[in-house]
Amino acid sequence: MKLFLLIGFLFTTISVTNVYGQNEADDITGIWLTGGKQPAKIQIYKAGDRYYGKIIWLQYPTENGKPRSDGSNPDKQKRNNPIIGLVILSNFRFDGEDEWKGGDIYDPESGKTYSSYMYLLNKKTLRVRGYVGISLLGRTETWVRQ
């Protein structure tokens, strides 16, 4: 009897996980609030078969009375570009299961670009990992859907 209950529980758990745990490619689109001491809202959108994200809101949009700019950009010609509207996520592809991979994330504070992947913990919580070389050498942030 216990064996039948265990088998029934396992099938139920697997079925529920497959129905509720599977992501669709466009589930990542929308507006996400970043964490940290200077939160921002990122709009993730699809262009072709890839996903991108741009800053659409900053908690602190001005600095010294002027709109914040991309002052740390390694390209000197882009340093006066405004942060709001800046694309910071680029070229992500959905892997067909649960991750968006192969993309890059740009950090406007440092002016550095990192390899990145993203995955949903649930429909309202996104994990974004940026790394150098291998994913073990990186940092993960949690973003919340708005």
Average pLDDT, the chain: 89
All residues at 6 or more sequence positions from 102 whose CB lies less than 8 Å from its CB, including other chains? 91, 92, 93, 117
**Is residue 7 pLDDT above 70, yes or no?**
no
- Per residue in 17-52, pLDDT (tens digit) is 444 568 999 999 999 999 988 999 999 999 999 999
Q: Which sequence spans correspond to the domains of the chain?
A: 25-145
4, containing H or E segment: helix 2-20
Return the pLDDT at 135. Answer: 87
On the question of pLDDT at 11 being above 60, the answer is no
Cβ neighbours for 97, distance < 8 A, ≥ 6 positions apart: 22, 23
What confidence tier does 9 reach under pLDDT thresholds 50, 70, 90?
Answer: very low
Residue 7 parent element (H or E):
helix 2-20
Share of the chain above pLDDT 90, in %: 80
Report whether 21 contacts 9 (CB < 8 A): no
Q: What is the CATH number of domain 25-145?
A: 2.40.128.520
pLDDT at 3: 45
